[in-house]
Amino acid sequence: MLRRRVIPCLDVADGRVVKGTRFVDLVDEGDPPDLAERYAREGADELVFLDISAAPQGRSTLLDIVARTARRAFIPLTVGGGVRSVDDMRAVLRAGADKVSLNTAAVADPELVTACARRFGSQAVVVAIDARLREPGASSSGWEVLVRGGRDTTGLDAVDWAERVVELGAGELLVTSIDRDGTGSGYDTALLRAIVDRVPVPVIASGGARTPAHLVAAIVEGGADAVLAASIFHRGLVSISEVKQALAQAGLPVRSIPAAPAAA
Amino acid sequence: MTRIAVVDYGAGNLVSIEQALTTVGAEVTIIDGPGGIAGADGLVVPGVGAAAPAMAQLRDQGLVEPIRAWIAAGRPYLGICLGLQLLFESSDEDGAEALGVLAGRARRLANAPTLPHIGWNQAVQTREHPLFAGIEQAADFYFVHSYAGELAPSAAAAVLATTDHGDRFASAVAIGSLAGVQFHPERSGIDGLRLLANFVGLVASGATGRAATREPGVAVSA
Residue in B closest to A72 by C-alpha: B19
Fill in the amino acid letter for B113: P
Q: Is the pLDDT of residue B217 over 60?
A: no
pLDDT at A29: 62
Does any domain span residue B220? no
Question: Which of A74, A195, A225, A256 is the best substitution to test chain B (most B C-beta atoms within 10 A)?
Answer: A74
Within a domain: B125? yes
CB-based contact A122 B192, cutoff 8 Å? no
Residue B8 lies in a domain: yes
pLDDT grade for A128, boundaries at 50, 70 and 90 = very high
How many angstroms away from the CA of A231 is the closest CA of chain B? Answer: 23
The residue segments making up the domain with residue B86 are 3-214
Q: For residue A212, is the peptide bond before it cis, meaning its omega torsion is within 30 degrees of 0? A: no
- Enumerate long-range contacts of A155-163, CB under 8 Å, 24 or more apart: A156/A107, A158/A129, A158/A131, A158/A191, A158/A194, A158/A195, A159/A194, A159/A195, A159/A198, A161/A107, A161/A129, A162/A127, A162/A129, A162/A195, A162/A198, A162/A199, A163/A198, A163/A199
Rounded to two decimals, what is the model's pTM?
A: 0.91
Partners of B163 in the beta sheet?
B169
A88-109 pLDDT per residue, tens = 999 999 899 999 999 999 999 9
Query: Which chain B residues are within 8 Å of A260, Cβ to Cβ?
Result: 190
pLDDT value at residue A259: 65
The larger pLDDT score, comparing residue B212 to residue B65, is at B65
> Is B74 within the bounds of a domain?
yes
Supply the pLDDT for residue A120.
Answer: 85
Would B104 be classed as within a structural domain? Answer: yes
Is A130 a residue of the active site?
yes
Nearest Cα neighbor of A224 from A256, A176, A263 is: A176
> How does residue A24 score in pLDDT terms, banded at 50, 70 and 90?
very low
The mean per-residue pLDDT over the stretch B170-198 comes to: 96
Whether B28 maps to a domain, the answer reads yes
Of A40, A71, A93, the CB nearest to B13: A93
The answer to whether residue B222 is domain-embedded is no
Instruction: Kindly report the CATH number assigned to the domain that includes residue B30.
Output: 3.40.50.880
Phi, psi of B188 (to 5 degrees): -110, 35
Local confidence band at B70 (pLDDT 50, 70, 90 cut-offs): very high
Selecting among A88, A98, A130, A181, the annotated active-site residue is A130
Q: Residue A55 has what pLDDT?
A: 65
Residue of A nearest to B111 (CA): A200
Contacts of A171 in chain B (CB under 8 A): 116, 118
pLDDT band at A257 (very low <50, low <70, confident <90, very high): confident
- Among partner residues A45, A123, A260, which is closest to B190 by beta-carbon distance? A260
Min Cα separation A136/chain B (Å): 31
pLDDT category at B213 given cuts 50, 70, 90 is very low
Which pLDDT does position A27 carry in this prediction?
Answer: 54
Evaluate whether residue B44 is within a structural domain: yes
What are the tens digits of pLDDT across the range A218-232? 999 999 999 999 989
| 3-class SS of residue B204 | helix
Q: How far is A72 from chain B (nearest CA, A)?
A: 9
Q: What is the pLDDT of residues B118-160, one digit of tens each?
A: 999 999 999 999 999 999 999 999 999 999 999 999 999 999 9
Please report which confidence band the pLDDT of residue B179 belongs to, taking 50, 70 and 90 as the band edges: very high
Count of structural domains within chain B: 1
In terms of DSSP H, where are the helices of B34-113?
51-60, 64-72, 82-85
Q: Which domains does chain A have, with CATH numbers?
A: 5-249 (3.20.20.70)
Per-residue pLDDT of B6-33, as tens digits, reads 999 876 678 889 999 999 999 999 999 9
